[in-house]
């Protein structure tokens, strides 16, 4: 049975992945700072075959990786899949960016995947099919005004994937990045707020996506399950774009 730790999964892609793992009978631990979202997720999970445990945790704190891993291991005895999915999108004109905004972006988007993997390492080494998945973004391949912290850190995640895939490959631990395109979740609210005409901005973005729409969180979950599965036993150090064709054109 797959034992999963999801960092950032009260809503959106992380929650959809948690439900998809639970449908397969997995043991899933979800850490997130959104207490209300976590209890709604537990409600949705009630009739599914797997088992869920949740913990309210601010994953921007340097103490959180050790806490998340200790909690997951106490619940499920180990970790086969580490899905580091929490993200922070801050938008402001360059002149208004503070050091605090910049450091917060780095803490959630870049330090968390690094130090959570470090904390989980003994358990990943003990797993029969260890898979580490970081949620990057097609924002690692493109850029938008007002979001330097997001684009810089999500690009940094791709370098982190390559370095960790090289270091952990000999231990049979696979490390990969998921790059979602535009997905309908609360996540992009700060982006829309930064646009002078949010509805028009969204219409233009959708018009530029070959599939002409945003994706749903559930449409991202399958790729997470794939990367954690036996089917992906030889997939490591790579980036999987799931974006309806957005970055192909
Ligand atoms: N939605 C999109 O269009 C899109 C596109 C590309 C990449 N992504 C990435 O997907 C990931 C998931 O985002 P989503 O779209 O599902 O949005 P979401 O807002 O629904 O999910 C993000 C989750 O991370 C949690 N989180 C954020 N900061 C946290 C912290 N400090 N401590 C604990 N939990 C924290 C939130 O509470 C939330 O549950 C993010 O890394 C995001 O960068 C999203």
Q: Is 150 a catalytic residue?
A: yes
Tell whether the torsion through CA atoms of 29, 35, 37 and 39 is positive or negative: positive
- CA of residue 88 to ligand 1 center, whole Å: 6
**Alpha carbon nearest to ligand 1 atom 2, residue:** 183
Give the pLDDT confidence of 199-242 residue by residue, as tens digits. 999 999 999 999 999 999 999 999 999 999 999 999 999 999 99
Give the pLDDT confidence of 27-84 residue by residue, as tens digits. 999 999 999 999 999 999 999 999 999 999 999 999 999 999 999 999 999 999 999 9
Identify the structural domains of the chain with CATH numbers, from first to last. 3-242 (3.40.50.720)
CA dist., res. 33 & res. 8, Å (int)? 8
CA dist., res. 59 & res. 57, Å (int)? 6
Ligand 1 interacting residues, C-beta cut-off 6 A: 8, 10-14, 32-34, 37, 57-60, 85-88, 108, 135, 137, 139, 180, 182-183, 185-188, 217
- CA of residue 170 to ligand 1 center, whole Å: 31
Which pLDDT score, from 0 to 100, does residue 191 have? Answer: 81
CA-angle at 125, arms to 119 and 127, nearest 5°: 110
């Amino acid at each position: 049975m797959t034992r999963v730790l999801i960092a950032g999964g009260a809503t959106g892609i992380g929650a959809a992945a948690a439900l998809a793992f639970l449908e397969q009978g997995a043991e899933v631990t979800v850490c997130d700072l959104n207490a209300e979202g976590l209890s709604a997720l537990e409600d949705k999970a009630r009739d599914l075959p797997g088992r869920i445990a949740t913990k309210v945790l601010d994953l921007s704190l340097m103490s959180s990786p050790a806490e998340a891993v200790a909690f997951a291991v106490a619940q499920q005895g180990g970790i086969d899949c580490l899905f580091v999915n929490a993200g922070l999108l801050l938008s402001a004109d360059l002149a208004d960016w503070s050091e605090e905004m910049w450091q917060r972006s780095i803490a959630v988007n870049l330090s968390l995947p690094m130090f959570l993997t470090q904390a989980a390492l003994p358990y990943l080494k003990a797993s029969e099919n260890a898979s580490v998945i970081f949620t990057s973004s097609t924002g690692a391949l493109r850029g938008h005004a007002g979001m330097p912290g997001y684009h810089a850190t999500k690009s940094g995640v791709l370098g982190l994937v390559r370095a960790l895939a090289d270091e952990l490959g000999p231990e049979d631990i696979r490390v990969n990045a998921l790059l979602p395109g535009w997905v309908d979740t609360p996540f992009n609210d700060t982006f829309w707020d930064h646009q002078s005409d949010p509805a028009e901005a969204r219409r233009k973005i959708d018009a530029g996506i070959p599939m002409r729409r945003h994706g749903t969180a559930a449409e991202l979950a399958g790729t997470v399950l794939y990367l954690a599965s036996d089917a992906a036993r030889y997939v490591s150090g790579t980036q999987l774009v799931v974006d309806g064709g957005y970055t192909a054109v």
